[in-house]
Amino acid sequence: MAAEILSQLVVLVLAIALGFELISRVPTLLHTPLMSATNAIHGIVVVGALVIVLTAEDTLTKVLGLVAVFFGAVNVVGGFIVTNRMLEMFRGGSRRKRG
Amino acid sequence: MALSTGTTLVYLFAAALFIFGIRLLRSPQTARAGNLVAAVGMFVAFVVTFFEFPAEALTLVLIAVVVGLGSAVGGVIAVRVPMTSMPQFVAAFNGVGGGAAALIGFSEFYEIQLAGGDENLVILLFIFFSILVGGLSFAGSVIAFVKLEELAFGGSVTFPGQKVVNAGLFVLAIALMVTVLAGGPVPVLFAGILLALALLLGVLLVIPIGGADMPIVISLLNAFTGVAAAASGMALGNTVLIIAGALVGASGTILTYLMSNALGRPLSKILFGAVAAAGTGAAAGDGEEKPVTSGGADDVAATLAYDADSVIFIPGYGLAVAQAQGAIADLMRTLEAQGKDVKFAIHPVAGRMPGHMNVLLAEADVPAEKMFDLEDINDQFAETDAVVIVGANDVVNPTAREDGDNPIAGMPILNADHAKRVVIVKRSLSPGFAGIDNPLFYDQDKTMMLFSDAKQGLEGVTQSVKNQG
Beta-carbon separation of A90 and B368 below 8 A: yes
Mean pLDDT, residues B276-298: 59
The dihedral through the CA atoms of B171, B177, B178, B183 has a sign that is positive
Which of B394, B417, B437, B453 is catalytic? The answer is B394
For residues B1 and A8, give the distance between their C-alpha atoms in angstroms, rounded to a whole number. 12
Per-residue pLDDT tens over the stretch B19-59: 999 999 988 888 999 999 999 999 999 999 999 998 889 99
CB nearest B355 (choices: A31, A52, A61)? A31
Model confidence at B100: pLDDT above 80: yes
Closest residue in chain A to residue B219, using alpha carbons only = A35
For residues B183 and A41, give the distance between their C-alpha atoms in angstroms, rounded to a whole number. 35
Considering only CA atoms, which of B443, B378, B434 is closest in space to residue B405?
Answer: B434
Does residue A60 belong to any structural domain of this protein? yes
Q: Which of A25-29, B109-113, B285-289 has the lowest mean pLDDT?
A: B285-289
Higher pLDDT, B26 or B349: B26
B275 and chain A in contact, CB less than 8 A: no
At residue B18, the pLDDT reads 96
Q: Which of A11-15, B62-66, B361-365 has the lowest mean pLDDT?
A: B361-365
Does residue A66 belong to any structural domain of this protein? yes
B218 and chain A in contact, CB less than 8 A: yes
CB nearest A23 (choices: B225, B251, B356)? B251
Question: What 3-state class would DSSP assign to B456?
Answer: helix
Distance from CA of A3 to the nearest CA of B (A): 12
Mean pLDDT, residues B174-188: 86
Distance from CA of B20 to the nearest CA of A (A): 10
Per-residue pLDDT tens over the stretch B138-164: 999 999 999 888 787 776 777 777 888
B77 and chain A in contact, CB less than 8 A: yes
Probe site for chain A from B61, B330, B358 (most A CB atoms < 10 A)? B358
For residues B108 and B329, give the distance between their C-alpha atoms in angstroms, rounded to a whole number. 53
Probe site for chain A from B17, B52, B67 (most A CB atoms < 10 A)? B67
Give the dihedral of Cα atoms B175, B180, B184, B190; nearest 10 deg.
80
Q: Please report which confidence band the pLDDT of residue B387 belongs to, taking 50, 70 and 90 as the band edges.
A: very high
Instruction: Identify all chain A residues contacting B371, using CB atoms and an 8 Å cutoff.
Output: 29
Which ipTM was obtained for this model? 0.92
Give the dihedral of Cα atoms A24, B233, A75, A30; nearest 10 deg.
10
Mean pLDDT, residues B88-104: 95
DSSP string covering B286-299:
-SPPPP--B--HHH
Domain count, chain A: 1
Distance from CA of A21 to the nearest CA of B (A): 8
Does residue A22 belong to any structural domain of this protein? no
For residues B220 and A35, give the distance between their C-alpha atoms in angstroms, rounded to a whole number. 10
Does residue A6 belong to any structural domain of this protein? no
Per-residue pLDDT tens over the stretch B392-431: 888 888 888 876 666 677 778 899 889 898 999 988 887 7
Q: Note down pLDDT in tens along chain A; length 99 residues.
A: 588 899 999 999 999 999 988 877 777 677 788 889 999 999 999 999 999 999 998 999 999 999 999 999 999 999 999 999 888 876 544 444 333
Does residue A74 belong to any structural domain of this protein? yes
At residue B116, the pLDDT reads 83
Answer whether B99's CB lies under 8 Å from A48's CB.
no
Mean pLDDT, residues B252-272: 75
Establish whether B394 is a catalytic residue: yes
For residues A41 and B251, give the distance between their C-alpha atoms in angstroms, rounded to a whole number. 11
Q: How far is CA B317 from the centre of its chain?
A: 13
Note the pTM of the prediction, 2 decimals.
Answer: 0.80
Considering only CA atoms, which of B357, B349, B305, B295 is closest in space to residue B331?
Answer: B305
The dihedral through the CA atoms of B345, B350, B354, B355 has a sign that is negative
Does residue A5 belong to any structural domain of this protein? no
Model confidence at B355: pLDDT above 80: no
Identify the bridge partners of residue B373 per DSSP, sorted by sequence position: B346
CB nearest A23 (choices: B28, B67, B255)? B255
Does residue A49 belong to any structural domain of this protein? yes
At residue A95, the pLDDT reads 41
Q: Domains of chain B, with CATH numbers?
A: 81-277 (no CATH), 297-468 (3.40.50.1220)
Q: Please report which confidence band the pLDDT of residue B315 belongs to, taking 50, 70 and 90 as the band edges.
A: very high
Distance from CA of A10 to the nearest CA of B (A): 10
| Domain housing A34 | 28-92
Q: Which residues contact B105 (CB under 8 A, 6 or more apart)?
A: B127, B128, B129, B130, B131, B134, B228, B231, B232, B235
At residue B263, the pLDDT reads 65
Closest residue in chain B to residue A37, using alpha carbons only = B35
Q: Please report which confidence band the pLDDT of residue B78 belongs to, taking 50, 70 and 90 as the band edges.
A: very high
